[in-house]
Amino acid sequence: MKAIVIIGDGMSDRPVARLGGRTPLMVARKPHIDRIAREGRVGRLRTIGETGPADSAVANLAVLGYGSSAGEEGRAVLEAASMGVDIGPGDVALRCNLVNLEGPPDGRRIRNHSAGHISTSEARELVAKLDEELGGARGPLPVRFHPGVSYRHLLVLPGGWASSAIDCAPPHDHVGGLVAELLPRPRPQPEAGSAARREAQAAERTARRLVDLHRQAAAILAEQPVNLARRAAGLDEANSIWTWSPGRRPQIETMQERFGVRGAVISAVDLIRGLGVYAGLDVIRVPGATGLHDTDYEGKARACLEALSDHDFVYVHVEASDEASHARDLDLKIRCIEYLDERLVRPILEGLAARDTAATLAILPDHPTPVETGQHGRDPVPVAIRRPGEAPDAVQGYDEEQAAQGSLGLLEGDAFIRRVLALDREPRRGEIG
């Protein structure tokens, strides 16, 4: 049996005062998502632990049934895989945002995590300049900048001199935060001994190098033509870099090795594409997919249906509601949920019916992103799974409260993906239902 997993990134929430204690999922018009819940079974999935990073890498790996340890190396190495950047055994990779800071030099704060959602073409010009001025193999502590999409870029510390044992604050979780309190710092080492001392020294060296790069990059960015033009137009400048999510190349089993299935992933986001690379999924790129509310929902739906013809399952990821949450834009978040319903879920449902394709269809967020905080949350996420031939439960719609009443209960570990792939009845390896 075929299967589709639809991720509305960050769309679950907590009660919002402006909505009278309801959540965006409760007030959004989403008849097609509600139909999946009404015709299927509903529950919740724990994707983020009570401790550790509340990170999209951890959450999406959890949806696919990987344990929390699979996401410990962070998102940068996953994004590198999507970008075609080779991460060697001794290298450390970090996400490198272009951000906008505001305030006096001794009280700088993060204004936004995306430099006003700077365009990819503008950003590539800036990142190329940073690599020209600061990158390369020169010196004992070399670095390389690699351009990505919009504000999302990559910094690689090659040559084995760096440590990933540093604490870095995700900028989207600290909008308004004081820069001086959030800069990279070495992580305390819980163990004693010579190896721990070497690691502590490497972590100290790495944190100092990163803080210095922040300072040097700000000076370079200040007078770049891209920023001068944005300043003149009244737009947020990319006036600083922000490095975070350090990690080394992970070793994880593919979905084929674990479950005997061939899958595909559709996303505009390098993190999700890179996760797909490591999980052995075919990466399908959709022209017009942006990672924002203006993404090509219909194009993703068409690509999903086409991919289902020669794949066992398709993982369709839409970033828009998460970005709206980080911007604390309640109206936009509701609108993004409605776009997901009408422009992606509806055509997928209609396409499956037109093709007379029996396929399990599941929908969920990877993690909550409460719009009132703009930060990732740790609450279990609502899940709806419509599986052909399986009787529905009594739940009639899809939101956080109704999910808690569903027959699936609280799913953990690989229980969700095994149910989606119809492997919860322990068929032979390589079978799907």
pLDDT digits (tens, 9 = 90+) for 22-42: 999 999 999 999 999 999 999
- The 8 Å CB, 24+ separation contacts for 126-130 are 126/98, 126/221, 126/224, 126/226, 126/227, 126/238, 127/96, 127/98, 127/153, 129/220, 129/224, 130/217, 130/220, 130/221, 130/241
Question: Does the global pTM surpass 0.95?
Answer: no
CB count in 10 Å sphere of residue 1: 17
pLDDT of residue 197: 86
pLDDT of residue 231: 95
H or E element in which residue 243 lies: strand 240-247
The pLDDT confidence band at residue 425, using thresholds 50, 70 and 90, is low
pLDDT of residue 68: 61
**Which residues are CB-contacts of 215 (< 8 A; sequence separation ≥ 6)?**
none
- DSSP letter, residue 23: -
Which residue, 307, 417, 418, 299, is CA-closest to 364? 417
pLDDT of residue 389: 93
pLDDT of residue 189: 74
**Span 313-325, average pLDDT:** 97
The answer to which of 16-20, 267-271, 302-306 has the lowest mean pLDDT is 267-271
**Span 124-134, average pLDDT:** 97
Percentage above 90 pLDDT, the chain: 83
| CA separation, residue 22 to residues 28, 238, 397 (Å) | 10, 36, 14
pLDDT of residue 427: 40
Say whether domain 2-72+251-420 belongs to CATH 3.40.720.10. yes
pLDDT of residue 428: 37
**Span 83-97, average pLDDT:** 93
Q: Where in the chain is the domain with CATH 3.40.720.10?
A: 2-72+251-420
The pLDDT confidence band at residue 54, using thresholds 50, 70 and 90, is confident
| One-letter-per-residue 3-state SS of 282-302 | EEECCCCCCCCCCCCHHHHHH
pLDDT in tens, 237-270: 999 999 999 999 888 899 999 999 999 999 999 8
The pLDDT confidence band at residue 69, using thresholds 50, 70 and 90, is low
**Residue 306 burial class via C-beta count within 10 angstroms: exposed 0-12, middle 13-18, buried 19 and up:** middle
The DSSP bridge partners found for residue 264 are: 282, 314
Q: Are 213 and 134 in contact (CB under 8 A)?
A: yes
Backbone angles phi, psi at 157, to 5 degrees: -105, 95
The pLDDT confidence band at residue 192, using thresholds 50, 70 and 90, is confident
pLDDT of residue 52: 78
pLDDT in tens, 347-382: 999 999 999 999 999 999 999 999 999 999 999 999
Look at residue 385 and tell me whether its pLDDT is greater than 60.
Answer: yes
- The whole-chain average pLDDT of the chain stands at 93
Angle subtended at Cα 291 by Cα 324 and Cα 3, rounded to the nearest 5 degrees: 105
pLDDT of residue 63: 97
CB count in 10 Å sphere of residue 393: 16
pLDDT of residue 431: 35
pLDDT of residue 190: 74
H or E element in which residue 98 lies: strand 92-102
Rounded distance between C-alpha atoms, residue 143 and residue 206, angstroms: 11
The pLDDT confidence band at residue 196, using thresholds 50, 70 and 90, is confident
pLDDT of residue 70: 59
